[in-house]
Chain A
Amino acid sequence: MSALTWESSETTGGERTTRLRRELRAVHALVHRDLLRLAGQRTHTALMLLHPALYLLILGGGLAALIPQASLGVGYQAYLFPGMLMMTVQTPAIMVGIRLITDRESGYLRELLMAPVRRSTLLLGSCAGGTLTAAVQGAVLLGLAGVAGLPYDPVLLGLLLAGMVLASFTVTSLALALAVSLRRAETFHTLLGVVMMPLLFLSGGFFPLTALPAWARALSDVNPLAYAVDLLRRIIALRVPDQAAAAGIEWAGRQPPLFLEAALLLAGGVVALLWATHRFNRPE
């Protein structure tokens, strides 16, 4: 009967005081799983890191000669750098959504639902795991700052990292909000294929939004990626004023304050996460 006695001593030992701790442990468990997977799948991680680096080196290198510095305010590789950081954090963030669906298909999600914690805690854990893995990968790619002609200034790198954490949180939440309502991984992949290309090109990561026709600019005004890229770009301009690039997001011809952009990103992420939690809480 050792199992039963162990159980009862544990449950009588202050059920209320350990409630929050239990939920936190569950969040930690999910983050731990994401980090273990990141460390275990080295090839996959390396490929995910290689992809944005290739954009910076090949696309950036090739177009640098063609695009005059005057139109952007900076060299093309420097211009591309915030967009590349955005791509780096976006891939692992979206993977979280894909994994929610594959976990559902494989039955792993059901095992998670058996855990004696709230469903919102499980979603929060997935979100935290996605944000953290994305930020880790973003931090690695910050090492390429020199290629873009940026100084290795600790404050700049720290601010950029904070911006990337914020951006990955928002993208992870959006991916989760999408994933909770979809049952099949194929649908999610197809949807991403359709949606990601316009989101990326309307983010101002590859070319200035001012070059776009008016209707496309209107779309980019509601594109969360555009705010993320703009945030990163303005952080660079803040610390390295001679690297100030052409303006991104503008509301009626004026740039919104930096903190407002950050707050909008955070709010978008929180709303998406709340909605995802609401959907996820419905019994199956």
Chain B
Amino acid sequence: MQRHVGDDDLAPAALRTAAPASPPAPQDLPESAYAIRTRGLVKSYPGPEGTTTRAVDGLDLDVERGETFAFLGPNGAGKSTTIAMLCALARPTAGRATVAGVDVLTQPRAVRRRVGMLFQHSAVDPDLTAEQNLHIHARLYGLSRRDARRRTAEVLETADLTDRRRSPVRTLSGGMRRRLEIARQLLHAPGVLFLDEPTTGLDPHARAQVWEHLRTLRERHGSTLFVTTHYLEEAENCDRLAIIDRGRLVAQGAPDRLKAAIGDDLVVLRTGDDAAAQQVVRRLLPPDRAVTVDADGVSLRVPGGSAWIPRLCAGLEASGVAVHAASATPPTLDDVFFHHTGRSLDAPQPGRAAAHAATARTGGGR
């Protein structure tokens, strides 16, 4: 999985300048293993006074088939523009992109036939029933009447909306509506499903439902999911993610790898005798690790922090030091973003510390 990150970090500068002409650099996976590949993708708009604004600036993405890929970035980073190019709604200014094995520039309709797109503000016809909306959509995608009926029934079942199929859409709840919108994108069985901020505007319960639904889809159909989000915890649960800022890719890889790449977990122990504990922990850790004592207890930074907790506790118990509490806090994706851009994703807050506290959920033994 990790192999592209290394390759791409070296390659992009060369590829960006020569993007339209040069073929993608050879990779160690066959072309068919990728659901999405972009090289030097650029979208620019005319700005004020003859300048051009680059909404997306030389993007190189690799998304493998069957994975759930998060596209993380602050508002206005270029996420929606990228998605629009990938599903052939907008034409790239430069660069190339292949989606589900098809070039978006030369075969836009073939791309649209193979992808589904859930817009951030999706629209269904509120005056028609759930079933009617789906049927019309299926026909728009060229399904025969019989196939349209069959697929409509199937996706209604998947979305758990069969008993509401004859209700006008305006009577459905927000979560049901979102599930219907997702169901609509599955009618033509797309290989790649784009979801632009799929849970924005939903309450936590509905959000969890939508994600549950997406996980089921993936397990059942092996579809590739490409999800844009600015919720860190949603990106956290994906197989891999790319972080975009001001139109540029700043990092790409599995969440754990990205976090591991920038630092170690913070382990904090609260003991009956912190000074003694410090000595014991020093002996247990590799010699280059610093162990500090402050009002919070004994703190140390190690890779795989939660795996260290049982060992540390056992060592401390053996030395007669009582352990009251232990916690391991991995670096968050916000830390990763901060590391690469010098800014926090949760824009107005200065608090990276606050983000730390909020995600200090990997509790240790007692």
A12 to chain B, nearest CB (A): 12
Residue of A18, A107, A284 with highest tally of chain B CB at under 10 A: A107
Q: In the complex, are the beta carbons of B139 and A32 less than 8 A apart?
A: yes
A7-B189, A36-B132, A115-B140 as given contacts; A110 in contact with B112, CB under 8 Å: no
The DSSP consensus for interface residues of chain A is helix
Assembly CA distance A284 to B190 (angstroms): 24
The answer to whether A190 has its CB under 8 Å from any CB of chain B is: no
Residues of A within 8 A of B122 (CB): 107, 111
User: Once the chains bind, are A107 and B142 in contact (CB under 8 Å)?
Assistant: no
A184 at the interface (CB under 8 A from B): no
Of residues 1 through 44 on chain A, the ones whose CB sits less than 8 Å from some CB of chain B are: 1-4, 6-7, 11, 18, 21-22, 25-26, 28-30, 32-33, 36-37, 40-41
Contact of B142 with A114 in the complex, beta carbons under 8 Å: no
Flag whether B125 is at the interface (Cβ < 8 A): yes
Q: With an 8 A cutoff between CB atoms, is A108 at the interface?
A: yes
A116 with B119: in contact, given A3-B222, A7-B114 (CB under 8 Å)?
A: no
Within 8 Å by CB of B142, from A3, A33, A116, lies A116
Number of interface residues of B (CB under 8 A): 38
Most buried by B among A29, A107, A113: A29
Please give, as numbers and ranges, the residues of chain B lying within 8 Å of A108 by CB-CB distance: 123-125
**SS of B interface (majority):** loop
**CA A108 to CA B140, docked complex, whole Å:** 13
Within 8 Å of chain B (Cβ to Cβ): is A112?
yes
Contacts of A110 in B (CB 8 A): 89, 119, 123
B338 interfacial by beta-carbon distance below 8 Å:
no
Set of chain B residues within 8 Å of A26, measured between Cβ atoms: 139-140, 142
Complex CA distance for A36 and B136, rounded to whole angstroms: 10
Q: Which partner residue on chain B sits nearest A2 by CB separation?
A: B221
With contacts A2-B221, A3-B189 taken as known, whether A114 is within 8 angstroms of B89 at the C-beta atoms is yes
Q: Which of B139, B188, B220 has the most CB of A within 10 A?
A: B139
Q: Does A117 contact B (CB under 8 A)?
A: yes
Question: Across the two chains, which residue of chain B brings its CB closest to A24?
Answer: B142
* B128/A3 in contact, CB under 8 A: no
Let me know if B221 and A3 touch, CB within 8 A: yes
**Complexed CA–CA distance, A7 and B187 (Å):** 11
Q: Known contacts A107-B119, A108-B125; decide if A283 and B91 are in contact (CB<8 Å).
A: yes
Among B109, B125, B222, which residue has its beta carbon within 8 angstroms of that of A116? B109
Name the one of B91, B132, B142, B220 contacting A25, with C-beta atoms under 8 angstroms: B142
Report if A112-B125 is in contact (Cβ < 8 Å); known contacts: A3-B191, A7-B190, A7-B191. no
- B80-139, CB < 8 A from A: 87, 89-91, 109-110, 112-114, 117, 119, 121-125, 127-128, 132, 135-137, 139
Is A37's CB under 8 angstroms from B127's CB? yes
When the two chains form their complex, are residues A32 and B189 in contact, meaning their CB atoms are under 8 A apart?
no
Query: In the complex, what's the smallest C-beta–C-beta distance from A190 to chain B, in angstroms?
Result: 25
Nearest CB of chain B from residue A198's CB, rounded to whole Å:
33
The residue in A21, A110, A116 that gathers the most chain B C-beta atoms within 10 A of its C-beta is: A116
* 8 A-B interface contacts by CB (under 8 A): A3-B190, A33-B136, A36-B132, A40-B128, A111-B123, A111-B137, A113-B89, A116-B113
Residues of A within 8 A of B (CB): 1-4, 6-7, 11, 18, 21-22, 25-26, 28-30, 32-33, 36-37, 40-41, 103, 106-108, 110-118, 283-284
Question: CB within 8 Å of A: which residues of B?
Answer: 87, 89-91, 109-110, 112-114, 117, 119, 121-125, 127-128, 132, 135-137, 139-144, 168, 186, 188-191, 220-223
